[in-house]
Structure 1
Amino acid sequence: MQIRPFTSFDTETVIALWHTVGLTRPWNDPAKDIERKSTTQPELFLVAVDADGALVGTAMVGYDGHRGWVHYLAVSPVQQGSGLGRELMAEAERLLIGLGCPKINLMVRTGNDQVIGFYEALGYGTDEVALLSKRLIPDA
């Protein structure tokens, strides 16, 4: 398994993986999310490829100078349970620590207990905060 930075050649496969694992939503255009990430810390957009060169995982990592974030952590269904998600998160944490990042945040949709359990097993905990958001630029 190799974890490397995303390249534009990965776009179609990454979007297909995100669709397969249920990370996409109608109000978020994944191609636009990729395009936006390519302009800010593109080296922190990670993909995992297997020995055959097939793309089997992703993690979109960022650091705003205050907190690190992980979005779009995805592992191909055939690789789930193999430790790849842990490897991607370990690499995200390593990169963020290298940037001096003191804390990492991520969002999991309410009710996604399996994924919440995955992160809890990695030492993540639920913060008692309300997440508020506002769409500034519509994707559609």
Structure 2
Amino acid sequence: MLYRPMTADDYEAAYHLWENTDGMGLSEADSRGEIVRYLERNPGISQVCVNEDGTLAGTAMCGHDGRRGYMYHVAVSSDSRGSGAGREMVTRCLERLREEGIMKCHLMVIGHNSLGRSFWTGTGWQERDGLVLFSRNS
């Protein structure tokens, strides 16, 4: 696998992967324009992995607000799962955050996404109790 920062050119393949990943929530915030804006605001932090044949095998979107890091859309294609690709992309994202002085990262997992929850707890992330997420369109 080749690991590298995610670019705008990866968008179509990434969106196709996300659409075909169980437990992935997509919205209008995942349009090409919104994803490109996120990548430009957080250059070099988000990561992808690519198979030897050039196909996209995984994504890990990551950025920060100057205080905390946030990870989104960590996905690995079904035929590449179990290869360590998810762990490697997450490790690379966290390294980039540390380089920018960000020492803590948060992520959200849809409650019924048992595969995702298992991945995160199995890689040392702690599920937080006592927090409630609120959202609102501006």
CA gap 1:26/1:37 in 2 versus in 1, 3 angstroms: closer
Partner of 1:131: 133
CA offsets 1:64-105 (integer angstroms, 9 cap, x no match): 121111101111111012111111111111111111112110
Shift of residue 58, structure 1, vs aligned partner: 0.6
Q: Secondary structure at the match of 1:87?
A: helix
Aligned counterparts of 2:77 and 2:137: Cα–Cα separation in 1: 29
What letter corresponds to residue 92 of structure 1 in structure 2? C
Partner of 1:60: 61
For these two proteins, the number of residue pairs brought into alignment is 136
Partner of 1:10: 10
Q: Secondary structure at the match of 1:86?
A: helix
What letter corresponds to residue 16 of structure 1 in structure 2? H
Structural RMSD (CA)? 1.6
TM-score normalised by L of structure 2: 0.88
Q: Secondary structure at the match of 1:35?
A: helix
In the TM superposition, 1:2-81 aligns within 5 A as 2-22=2-22, 23-81=24-82
Partner of 2:86: 85
Shift of residue 44, structure 1, vs aligned partner: 1.6
Shift of residue 10, structure 1, vs aligned partner: 1.7
Q: Secondary structure at the match of 1:44?
A: coil
Shift of residue 27, structure 1, vs aligned partner: 4.6
Shift of residue 131, structure 1, vs aligned partner: 1.1
- Unaligned stretches of 5+ in structure 1? none
- Unaligned stretches of 5+ in structure 2? none
Q: Which moved more, 1:6-15 or 1:59-68?
A: 6-15
Q: Secondary structure at the match of 1:42?
A: coil
TM-score normalised by L of structure 1: 0.87
CA offsets 1:37-67 (integer angstroms, 9 cap, x no match): 1331132221111122211111111011211
- Which contiguous aligned blocks of 4+ residues in structure 1 show a shift greater than 6 angstroms? none
On the 8 A contact 2:44/2:96 being kept in 1, the answer is no
